[in-house]
């Protein structure tokens, strides 16, 4: 059910990642004042965008579940958030490395984007404990969906709050006036964004397929071994 | 359409029920108030300072209030869950939104009562003698923030009431969700506690808190039904 097209998608993802890394190391120029370290930008920013996008997608999928009552949507919402939390860890690590290299500190509090990301990440870390502390599976799906929607609305609100509160230190990649990058860097950036999106989608699909087949195996086994066996 | 009582009379009945329980048991509000005063004492001894001022004072006040809110949210559905009151509420032919409004209104009143005790206690214990507190604007900030806190709190309380680790889920869920309120509340309060008096950015913060309140009120009304199904 979820496994269709997985192989083609995996191949496309692997190619996109290879091309992205090729562009990062051989095509994009070194940054004028940050030098080679700035290359982590091509990993960090797309990861962060995909991660936040995944959180919001989790909320949208949860709306679909609550509207339709189809458990497959809940499973998709769960996997989307699960994978985004994992990407979130990578975002925090790459962000810290970049902060250390360019600002001299692992963590900078007067840095709105960093702080919001941490808050959002902490909130979504509660998703799993909340979900699995509810025993009834139907109720579990409903409560997890309510959480996903609430948190999905919270993400943009939190960005607004922190941005109001603090001066901007974090480089704005995509400002209202358009990308503030030279074309070669912008091209690399968008290829990386595409590659990261593909990685995310592939990971979600693998997870969905494995969860689905595990359920099917469990069902088959139950049918083979009659109760008490 | 169900032909039960209207939304507001149902909410009012539920609110009265919660207030009657609170008046008789005196569980939530005294605990919240006592907790906040205890935190002030802890702050004094933990930092070794007698007075706080400016941004530090505003931040400590808000952190304390939010932690006290966690206590209230933890207890919000306790009568429903432990004594089976939820079945009675669900059997009643009223809109589920009434349950949310009743609970949020009860939490709002608890928070106002908490602040009536905690904010003067804070001023007395931890603010420098004679610092001019702008009472009216401060009350406005607190009341407006309480609306958002009550909406999020009622939603989180309902979400956590069916989980096994409810006491753990509430703070982990509530505190990140109210970070924007903490930022806005503390920033708006900071100039009100010091000598500066007026705040040029007060309106901007009040506007933000208002937007937060609106968003979470509407969101909670929209999703609350799903928490009380079956």
What token pair was written down for B144? 């407006």
Q: What is the CA radius of gyration of chain B?
A: 18
Q: What is the pLDDT of residue A227?
A: 64
pLDDT digits (tens, 9 = 90+) for B161-211: 888 877 888 999 999 999 889 988 888 888 887 655 555 678 888 888 999
Asked if residue B73 lies in contact with residue B157, where contact means CB atoms within 8 angstroms, the answer is yes
d(CA A119, CA B171): 13
- For chain A, the DSSP string reads ---TTHHHHHHHHHHHHHHHHHIIIIISPPBTTTBGGGGGHHHHHHHHHHHHHHHHHHHHHHHHHHHH--HHHHHHHHHHHHHHHHHHHHHHHHHHHHHHHHHS-S--TT-HHHHHHHHHHHHHHTHHHHHHT--SHHHHHHHHHHHHHHHHHHHHHHHHHHHHHS---SPPSEETTEE-S-HHHHHHHHHHHHHHHHHHHHHHHHHHHHHHHHHHHHHHHHHHS-TT-
Q: What is the pLDDT of residue A111?
A: 72
Q: What is the pLDDT of residue B227?
A: 87
Query: From B216, which residue of chain A is nearest by alpha-carbon distance?
Result: A150
Residues of A in contact with B183 (CB under 8 A): 161-162, 164-165
Q: What is the pLDDT of residue A30?
A: 76
Asked if residue B133 lies in contact with residue B45, where contact means CB atoms within 8 angstroms, the answer is no
Q: What is the pLDDT of residue A81?
A: 95
pLDDT digits (tens, 9 = 90+) for A106-127: 887 777 778 888 989 999 999 9
The residue written with tokens 């990971």 in the block is A203
What token pair was written down for B67? 């932690």
User: Chain B within 8 Å of A150 (Cβ-Cβ)?
Assistant: yes
Please give the helix or strand (H or E) that residue B219 lies within, else none. helix B202-227
Residues of A in contact with B226 (CB under 8 A): 66, 142, 145-146
pLDDT at A172 over 60: no
Mark yes or no for CB contact A123/B160 under 8 Å.
no
pLDDT at A167 over 70: no
Asked if residue A118 lies in contact with residue A93, where contact means CB atoms within 8 angstroms, the answer is no
pLDDT digits (tens, 9 = 90+) for A24-65: 888 877 776 677 777 888 888 899 999 999 999 999 999 999
pLDDT band at residue A157 using 50, 70 and 90 as cut-offs: confident
Residue B181: name the closest of B94, B93, B66, B75 by CA: B66
d(CA B213, CA B27): 27
Q: What is the pLDDT of residue B195?
A: 57
How many Å lie between the alpha carbon of B189 and the closest alpha carbon of chain A?
Answer: 13
Residues of A in contact with B162 (CB under 8 A): 134, 139, 143
pLDDT digits (tens, 9 = 90+) for B81-103: 777 777 877 787 788 888 899 99
- For A96-143, the DSSP string reads HHHHHHHHS-S--TT-HHHHHHHHHHHHHHTHHHHHHT--SHHHHHHH
Nearby residues of B96 by Cβ (< 8 Å), 6 or more positions away: B224, B225, B228
For chain B, helix (H) and strand (E) counts, in that order, are 10, 0
What token pair was written down for A154? 């919270």
Asked if residue B149 lies in contact with residue B217, where contact means CB atoms within 8 angstroms, the answer is no
d(CA B74, CA B211): 25
Mean per-residue pLDDT of chain B: 86
How many Å lie between the alpha carbon of B161 and the closest alpha carbon of chain A?
Answer: 10
Which of B145, B155, B164, B176 should we substitute to test contact with A (largest number of A Cβ atoms within 10 Å)? B176
B 145-184 near A (Cβ less than 8 A): 155, 159-160, 162-165, 168-169, 172-173, 176-177, 179-180, 183-184
Calculate the dihedral angle through the C-alpha atoms of B74, B126, A162, A114, rounding to the nearest 10 degrees: -90
Q: What is the pLDDT of residue B133?
A: 77
Asked if residue A99 lies in contact with residue A105, where contact means CB atoms within 8 angstroms, the answer is yes
pLDDT band at residue A176 using 50, 70 and 90 as cut-offs: very low
The residue written with tokens 């139907």 in the block is A138
Mean pLDDT of A84-90: 94
d(CA B36, CA B181): 18
Mean pLDDT of B77-81: 80
User: Chain B within 8 Å of A137 (Cβ-Cβ)?
Assistant: no
User: Chain B within 8 Å of A11 (Cβ-Cβ)?
Assistant: no
Mark yes or no for CB contact B165/A160 under 8 Å.
no
Give the 3-state secondary structure of residue B95: coil
Q: Please give the model's pTM, rounded to 2 decimal places.
A: 0.86
What token pair was written down for B135? 């009472």
Which of A68, A161, A165, A167 should we substitute to test contact with B (largest number of B Cβ atoms within 10 Å)? A161
pLDDT band at residue B3 using 50, 70 and 90 as cut-offs: low
Give the 3-state secondary structure of residue B52: strand
User: Chain A within 8 Å of B41 (Cβ-Cβ)?
Assistant: no
- Pairwise pLDDT comparison (A204 vs A36), residue with the higher score: A204
Query: From A146, which residue of chain B is nearest by alpha-carbon distance?
Result: B223
d(CA B117, CA A115): 32
pLDDT band at residue A178 using 50, 70 and 90 as cut-offs: very low
The residue written with tokens 């968003």 in the block is B215
pLDDT at A97 over 50: yes
Q: What is the pLDDT of residue B2?
A: 52
Mean pLDDT of B130-138: 79
d(CA A203, CA B208): 37
The number of residues in chain A equals 229
d(CA B217, CA B104): 9
Residues of A in contact with B173 (CB under 8 A): 123, 126, 130, 147
pLDDT band at residue A78 using 50, 70 and 90 as cut-offs: very high
What percent of chain B has a predicted confidence (pLDDT) above 70? 94
Mark yes or no for CB contact A129/B162 under 8 Å.
no
pLDDT at B51 over 90: no
Q: What is the pLDDT of residue A134?
A: 87
User: Chain B within 8 Å of A160 (Cβ-Cβ)?
Assistant: yes
User: Chain B within 8 Å of A2 (Cβ-Cβ)?
Assistant: no
Mark yes or no for CB contact A165/B173 under 8 Å.
no
Q: What is the pLDDT of residue A177?
A: 42
d(CA A91, CA B172): 21
Q: What is the 3-state secondary structure (H, E, C) of B117-163?
A: HHHHHHHHHHECCCCCCCHHHHHHHHHHHHHHHHHHHHHHHHHHCCC
Query: From A115, which residue of chain B is nearest by alpha-carbon distance?
Result: B179
Q: What is the pLDDT of residue A51?
A: 93
């Amino acid at each position: 059910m979820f496994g269709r097209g997985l192989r083609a998608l995996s191949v496309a993802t692997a190619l996109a990642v290879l091309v992205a890394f090729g562009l990062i190391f051989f095509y994009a120029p070194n940054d004028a004042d940050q030098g080679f370290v700035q290359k982590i930008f091509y990993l960090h920013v797309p990861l962060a965008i995909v991660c936040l996008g995944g959180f919001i997608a989790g909320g949208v999928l949860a709306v679909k579940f609550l509207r339709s009552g189809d458990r497959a949507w809940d499973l998709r919402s769960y996997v989307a958030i699960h994978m985004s939390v994992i990407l979130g860890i990578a975002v925090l690590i790459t962000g810290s490395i970049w902060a250390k290299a360019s600002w001299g500190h692992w963590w900078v509090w007067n840095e709105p984007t960093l702080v919001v990301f941490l808050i959002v990440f902490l909130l979504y870390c509660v998703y799993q404990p909340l979900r699995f502390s509810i025993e009834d599976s139907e109720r579990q799906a409903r409560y997890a969906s309510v959480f996903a929607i609430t948190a999905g609305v919270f993400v943009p609100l939190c960005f607004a709050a922190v941005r109001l509160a603090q001066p901007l230190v974090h480089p704005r990649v995509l400002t209202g006036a358009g990308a503030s990058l030279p074309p070669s860097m912008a091209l690399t950036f968008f290829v990386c964004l595409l590659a990261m999106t593909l990685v995310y989608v592939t990971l979600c699909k693998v997870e969905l397929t494995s969860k689905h087949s595990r359920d099917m195996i469990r069902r088959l086994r139950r049918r083979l071994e009659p109760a008490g066996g | 359409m169900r032909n039960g009582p209207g939304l507001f009379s149902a909410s009012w009945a539920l609110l009265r029920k919660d207030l009657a329980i609170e008046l008789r048991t005196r569980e939530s509000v005294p605990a919240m108030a006592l907790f906040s005063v205890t935190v002030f004492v802890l702050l004094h001894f933990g930092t070794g300072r007698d007075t706080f001022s400016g941004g530090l004072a505003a931040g400590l006040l808000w952190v304390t209030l939010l932690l006290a809110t966690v206590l209230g949210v933890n207890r919000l559905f306790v009568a429903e869950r432990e004594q089976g009151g939820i079945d009675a509420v669900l059997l009643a032919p009223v809109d589920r939104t009434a349950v949310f409004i009743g609970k949020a209104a009860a939490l709002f009143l608890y928070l106002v009562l908490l602040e009536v005790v905690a904010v003067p206690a804070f001023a007395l214990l931890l603010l420098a003698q004679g610092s001019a507190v702008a009472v009216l604007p401060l009350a406005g900030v607190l009341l407006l923030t309480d609306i958002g806190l009550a909406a999020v709190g009622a939603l989180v309380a309902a979400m956590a009431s069916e989980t096994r680790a409810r006491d753990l889920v509430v703070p982990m869920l509530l505190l990140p969700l109210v970070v924007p309120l903490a930022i806005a509340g503390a920033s708006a309060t900071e100039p009100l506690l010091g000598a500066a008096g007026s705040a040029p950015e007060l309106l901007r913060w009040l506007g933000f808190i208002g937007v937060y309140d609106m968003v979470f009120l509407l969101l909670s009304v929209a999703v609350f039904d799903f928490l009380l199904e079956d």
